Amino acid sequence: MSDAGGGGSEEYKREESVALLVIVSLAALSLLSLIAAFAYYCYITRKVSRRLHSLQPPKRSGSPPAPPPRAPPPPPPQQQQQGKESPSSNSASDGAGAAAAGMAVVVAGERGVQVFSYRQLHAATGGFGRAHMVGQGSFGAVYRGVLPDGRKVAVKLMDRPGKQGEQEFEMEVELLSRLRSPHLLGLIGHCSEGGQRLLVYEFMANGGLQEHLYPNTGSCGGISKLDWDTRMRIALEAAKGLEYLHERVNPPVIHRDFKSSNILLDKDFHARVSDFGLAKLGSDRAGGHVSTRVLGTQGYVAPEYALTGHLTTKSDVYSYGVVLLELLTGRVPVDMKRPPGEGVLVNWALPMLTDREKVVQILDPALEGQYSLKDAVQVAAIAAMCVQPEADYRPLMADVVQSLVPLVKNRSAQKACNPNVQASKPLD
């Protein structure tokens, strides 16, 4: 019994010695690894330091110190700007402030888009005073001004707080820095300093289409002075703006807030599409959609987008159709003060748009005598296709442009041949 006990004790000691040896060996290996890693680190650090030192040019002895920077010249007196701009010209009146300040641009961005400081734009707009304010849009107040080179511009001071406001600002800068079309409002520059977000645009002297369709009240009931030819030219140029976004860009850009107040007019009433804060990149698959939060303006939002959140270029086509109805009828998209059945423009007008006899009944009374019945019926048919409840039945914007071009060209040719000729009466 004692021999067996002694043998077990010796075996235990041997196992203990082996375990201790293994532990010591592992500790030694770990220490060696650390020493090797540290040595390699020192080697690499020394090598990089020598490399950087060799790249530095040798110092020249006796070279004079660089002269101190000159102070900028005093800004010229602010220039007075004439021209009307409305709340609907939010986008158009963005960059005005920087101009009046008479101060040089700090940084040139991609494709000529400039970066201004807040101080420049603040000085340019008289401290964003009320005298320079030309409108209040959904994303902030708009101020006017003049750049040092004499360009009239407009400055939008965005006041949308939080992440949503930041995303809208970044989207507009990103898109307008890259997109180039004579039918889109041009971005001159921007400012992102601290908590301030400002956009600087071309100045559009005649503001937004909405204020010319409804001049007396801004949104309903006014008597428009826009004649038929001007309305059709605006319709064509706005269509070309959307066509560019949908057909010439890959993936396509969906405006998502196309409406009459976002169609801006220059001094000659040429139209440009503006306000891309809610724009979304569409699907690059034919017939595809993107799913997103439902945003937009009541009366312009396509029904399938409102119900499902599925957004396609055909959503913009619907909104365009609503604007075309505004141009035809002189009515706002939603006016619940009207008689029953007439409160929603699309619901009221759609059944009559394809009826030759009823088309005249829905046209703006201010257009009387300015159009031919044939032209009115054709434009009404285009509007009817655009506001179809089923997205698949709506045309592409390229098709809309092709349909409007002959109407505008023919009218222009007739007026060029005989400026005194009057359009036929509606029922001729």
CATH number assigned to the domain comprising residue 126: 3.30.200.20
- How many Å apart are CA 364 and CA 230, to the nearest integer? 14
Sequence-distant (≥ 6) Cβ neighbours of residue 283 within 8 angstroms: 251, 289, 290, 312
The residue behind tokens 């509606």 is 426
- How many Å apart are CA 91 and CA 93, to the nearest integer? 6
Enclosing domain of residue 133: 87-202
- How many Å apart are CA 323 and CA 210, to the nearest integer? 9
Residues 290 and 401 placed together within one structural domain of the fold: yes
Is residue 68 assigned to a domain?
Answer: no
Kind of pairing between the strands at 133-137 and 140-146? antiparallel
Kind of pairing between the strands at 263-265 and 271-273? antiparallel
Radius of gyration of the chain (CA): 34
Residues 333 and 402 placed together within one structural domain of the fold: yes
Peptide bond just before 251 cis, omega within 30 deg: yes
Is residue 99 assigned to a domain?
Answer: yes
The tokens for 312 are 């396609």
Kind of pairing between the strands at 196-202 and 133-137? unpaired
Residues 102 and 149 placed together within one structural domain of the fold: yes
Q: Into how many domains does the chain fold?
A: 2
Amino acid at the residue 40:
Y
- How many Å apart are CA 273 and CA 11, to the nearest integer? 92
3-state secondary structure of 202: strand
Q: What pLDDT is recorded for position 390?
A: 96
CA 270 from chain centre, in angstroms, equals 19
CATH code, domain carrying 275 = 1.10.510.10
Active-site annotation holder among 3, 229, 257, 316 = 257
Query: Residues 99, 152: contact at Cβ < 8 Å?
Result: yes
- How many Å apart are CA 122 and CA 107, to the nearest integer? 17
Rounded to whole angstroms, what are the CA distances from 335 to 21, 347, 352, 366?
A: 92, 12, 18, 19
- How many Å apart are CA 12 and CA 15, to the nearest integer? 5
Residues 237 and 379 placed together within one structural domain of the fold: yes
Residues 339 and 394 placed together within one structural domain of the fold: yes
Which of the listed residues 202, 235, 262 is the one where a domain comes to its end? 202
Q: What pLDDT is recorded for position 383?
A: 98
Give backbone dihedrals phi and psi of 383, rounded to 5 degrees, phi first: -60, -40
Length, in residues, of the chain = 428
Is residue 23 assigned to a domain?
Answer: no
- How many Å apart are CA 338 and CA 79, to the nearest integer? 45
Taking each helix axis as running N to C, give the angle between helix 313-329 and helix 228-247, from 0 to 180 degrees, rounded to the nearest 10: 180
Which of the listed residues 202, 225, 244 is the one where a domain comes to its end? 202
Binding-site residue numbers are 163
Residues 182 and 214 placed together within one structural domain of the fold: no
Binding-site residue numbers for ATP are 163
Q: Which contiguous run of DSSP H or E holds residue 141? A: strand 140-146
- How many Å apart are CA 94 and CA 186, to the nearest integer? 10
DSSP 144: E
Tens-digit pLDDT string for the chain (428 aa): 445 555 567 777 777 787 888 788 888 888 887 787 777 666 666 654 554 444 444 444 443 444 443 433 333 333 333 333 333 333 333 333 333 333 333 333 345 688 988 888 877 777 888 888 887 766 788 888 777 777 788 888 888 666 777 888 888 888 888 888 999 998 989 998 888 899 998 889 898 999 999 986 544 445 788 999 999 999 999 999 999 999 999 899 999 999 999 999 999 999 999 988 888 988 877 667 788 888 889 999 999 999 999 999 999 999 999 999 999 999 999 999 999 999 999 999 999 999 999 999 999 999 988 999 999 999 999 999 999 999 999 999 999 999 999 999 877 777 666 655 544 444 33
Rounded to whole angstroms, what are the CA distances from 342 to 319, 332, 362?
A: 18, 11, 11
Q: What pLDDT is recorded for position 105?
A: 30
Any alpha helices (H) in 104-179, and if so which ranges?
Answer: 118-124, 162-178
Is residue 367 assigned to a domain?
Answer: yes
Q: What pLDDT is recorded for position 270?
A: 97
Query: Residues 114, 42: contact at Cβ < 8 Å?
Result: no
Which of the listed residues 156, 171, 202 is the one where a domain comes to its end? 202
- How many Å apart are CA 243 and CA 221, to the nearest integer? 31
- How many Å apart are CA 106 and CA 103, to the nearest integer? 9
For Cα atoms 161, 106, 173, give the angle at the middle one, nearest 5 degrees: 40
Residues 198 and 246 placed together within one structural domain of the fold: no
355 catalytic per annotation:
no
Neighbouring-strand partners of residue 136: 141
Give backbone dihedrals phi and psi of 193, rounded to 5 degrees, phi first: -135, 115
